[in-house]
Structure 1
Amino acid sequence: MKSFAVASTLGAALLAALPAQAQNAGQIARVRGGASCAGCNLFQGEFSGLEANGLNLSGARVRQADLSLAVMNRTRFTGADLRDVEAYGGVFSSSNFARADLTNSSWVGAYLDGSSFAGATLTGANLSGARLARATGLTQRQLNGACGDASTVLPHGLSIPAC
């Protein structure tokens, strides 16, 4: 009985010491290869530098993923979980973020012209230096929960609080 308790304690300690793993490595690999994956679990996926246009990632869990310097024009993120995503310098022109949750995500220097944000949650999103001049579906209420800087480019008539 004592050896079982020691083994259980050691096993729990080893599991606690391991870094968090991506939830579905196979699905992450598919997207890295340029395939659509609607509804997939891409949690903590590494997509930095990915060049894949026109993907369907609607309803996907992309939370805490790295999209830095990715080029993903015309990608559908409709209803996706993009909380805590890092998308520094990414290019997402004409992408669809309708009803997506971008809470606490970072889009510093991202190119988002022509993208749709209808019903998207932008609370805590950092849009410093992002280009959204031709973005659609953006409201002042959404932007009031986000932040940006003097180089953030927004559609005419909209403003964003400073970070």
Structure 2
Amino acid sequence: MKPFLTVVALAALTCASTSAMAQNADQIARVRSGSSCAGCNLFQASLSGLEARGLNLTGARLRQADLSLAVMNRTRFSNADLRDVEAYGGVFSSANFSGANLTNASFVGAYLDGAAFSGATLNGANFSGASLERATGLSQSRLNAACGDEATKLPAGLTLPRC
């Protein structure tokens, strides 16, 4: 009987932790309407084409979210989880990605001029065709973990490995 109770307890714990990690539809709707949502759970949110400037999404969980063609200038993504985000063609000028986790994020063709990346994790991030010319906080060592192509625009003196 004791092994059975252990299995049941583990199953209940797994279900509880899974639901805690699921997206929050109310919070996603809030951001879609143009409201800030610091610390929100926007996991797998579909925010493609969103036009909302100056939002505060500090510490938000945007993992696997779709930010394709979004216009989110001056938005604060500091310390946010942006792993596996799809941000193709997005406009994020002067956005703050300081301390954010951008592991495996795709910013193909994105406009990131003036964006801040101090302390951001860029492992596997794809910046092919992106404009980062006036971005700040980028270091060669962190860019070595990301990739781009011949169309990627970087601040002077920095390079990216090819994707």
What TM-score do the two structures reach when normalised by structure 2? 0.87
The match for 1:41 is 41
**Runs of 5+ consecutive residues of structure 1 not aligned to the other structure:** 1-20
The match for 2:51 is 51
Is residue 2:143 matched to residue 1:129? no
CA RMSD of aligned residues (A): 1.0
SS at match of 1:125: coil
Q: Supply the distance in 1 between the matched residues of 2:23 and 2:113 (Cα, whole angstroms).
A: 31
**Runs of 5+ consecutive residues of structure 2 not aligned to the other structure:** 1-20
The match for 1:94 is 94
Give, in angstroms, the shift of residue 22 of structure 1: 5.3
Give, in angstroms, the shift of residue 119 of structure 1: 0.2
Give the total of aligned pairs. 143
Q: Supply the distance in 1 between the matched residues of 2:23 and 2:121 (Cα, whole angstroms).
A: 23
2:99 alignment partner AA: R
Q: Supply the distance in 2 between the matched residues of 1:108 and 1:123 (Cα, whole angstroms).
A: 15
1:102-127: per-residue Cα shift (whole Å, max 9, x none)? 00010000000000000000000000
Post-superposition, which runs of at least 4 consecutive aligned residues in structure 1 deviate over 4 A? none
SS at match of 1:30: helix
Q: Give the alignment of 1:5-154 within 5 angstroms.
A: 23-154=23-154
1:36·1:56 contact (CA, 8 Å) conserved in 2? yes
2:46 alignment partner AA: E
Percent identity, please: 75
